[in-house]
């Protein structure tokens, strides 16, 4: 079975350097033309350049996913350029946050607004563009393990990712009569494999996450005498049954297959690529890292040389 997205046009929102860029590159490497959306010009430029240096065709479509006029505008731009949209990947979201004791109303509303309106507006207008043209397309909404299981320190993120999961099922029912499939994809803290991102990390440009994210509760100080730790801060990979949660390239392979004609009857469901992390019983502790066989070698998609780890 050879996956082919030739002659298909994809739109990816939130094309930042980790998951969004990985999905966009994979769709391109499997043959699709890819429109890259973000509010950050730097993120869009990096994503389109990555696609182009790997032999693909990309289009920059900046815009705010919460603004209906902007969403309609960049979807119109994609159709004007390439005549159609076959694939939509809703990925734009605000990462991180604070726990329920410390999250602000403003930040909670902003995080939920980006996900809720972003996924809704893009699905609405890309779905209409598909239905009007008789295109039996594929819409993938990126969820998170935080949308299925409880995790401290990200109350707004967990709230809107949980909403994504039922939005997908409802939208799948709305669009099924048009032959348009809607599914979610759940990644779990993938290990970055974008050469540019790794190079930036080697140069110290990637900073550690804010202390409030690592602690989980999320206060500015978090040093009140009654505070309790909310999250394990040690190494997490040994807790994953297969020893790794994978990379954005692993995600890209799966999303590309889900958007292909081989998945023609898959709708209203969730695909998970996480090395078994979500399936694991809470009491199960895998064998030590040196005792795990691990997965097969990664099938790479980016031809850019990886940075020297000794750096």
157 is catalytic: yes
**Which residue bears the tokens 């090395």?**
275
Quick one: tokens of 158? 């967990």
Strand ranges across the sheet with 33-36: 58-60, 33-36, 9-12, 87-90, 138-142, 181-187, 270-273
Residues 6+ apart with CB under 8 A from 14: 20, 37, 38, 65, 90, 91, 92, 93, 118, 142
CB-count burial class (<10 Å; 0-12, 13-18, 19+) for 193 = buried
Catalytic residue among 157, 178, 262, 284: 157
CB 138 within 8 A of CB 258: yes
Distance spanning both ends of the chain, measured CA to CA = 39
User: Annotated active-site positions, please?
Assistant: 157
């Amino acid at each position: 079975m050879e996956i082919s997205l030739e002659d298909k046009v994809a739109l990816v929102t939130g094309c930042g350097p980790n998951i969004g860029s990985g999905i966009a590159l994979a769709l391109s490497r499997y043959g699709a033309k890819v429109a890259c959306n973000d509010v950050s010009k730097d993120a869009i430029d990096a994503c389109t350049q990555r696609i182009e240096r790997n032999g693909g065709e990309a289009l920059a479509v900046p815009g705010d996913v919460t603004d209906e006029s902007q969403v309609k505008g960049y979807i119109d731009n994609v159709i004007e350029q390439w005549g159609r949209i076959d694939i939509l990947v809703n990925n734009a979201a605000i990462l991180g946050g604070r726990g329920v004791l410390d999250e602000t109303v403003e930040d909670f509303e902003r995080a939920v607004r980006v996900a809720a309106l972003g996924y809704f507006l893009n699905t609405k207008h890309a779905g209409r563009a598909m239905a009007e043209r008789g295109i039996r397309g594929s819409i993938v909404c990126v969820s998170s393990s935080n949308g299925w299981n409880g995790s401290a320190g990200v109350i707004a993120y967990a709230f809107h990712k949980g909403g994504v999961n039922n939005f997908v099922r409802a939208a799948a029912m709305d669009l099924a009569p048009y032959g348009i499939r809607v599914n979610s994809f759940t990644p779990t803290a993938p290990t970055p494999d974008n050469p540019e991102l790794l190079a930036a990390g080697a140069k110290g440009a990637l900073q550690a996450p804010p202390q409030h994210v690592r602690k989980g509760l999320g206060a500015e100080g978090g040093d009140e005498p009654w505070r309790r730790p909310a999250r394990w801060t040690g190494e997490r990979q040994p807790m994953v049954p297969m020893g790794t949660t994978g990379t954005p390239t692993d995600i890209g392979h799966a999303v590309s297959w889900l958007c292909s004609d081989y998945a023609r009857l898959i709708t209203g469901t969730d695909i998970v690529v996480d090395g078994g992390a979500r399936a694991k019983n809470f009491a199960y502790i895998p064998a030590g890292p040196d005792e795990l066989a691990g997965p097969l070698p990664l099938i790479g998609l980016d031809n850019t040389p990886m940075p020297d780890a000794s750096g």
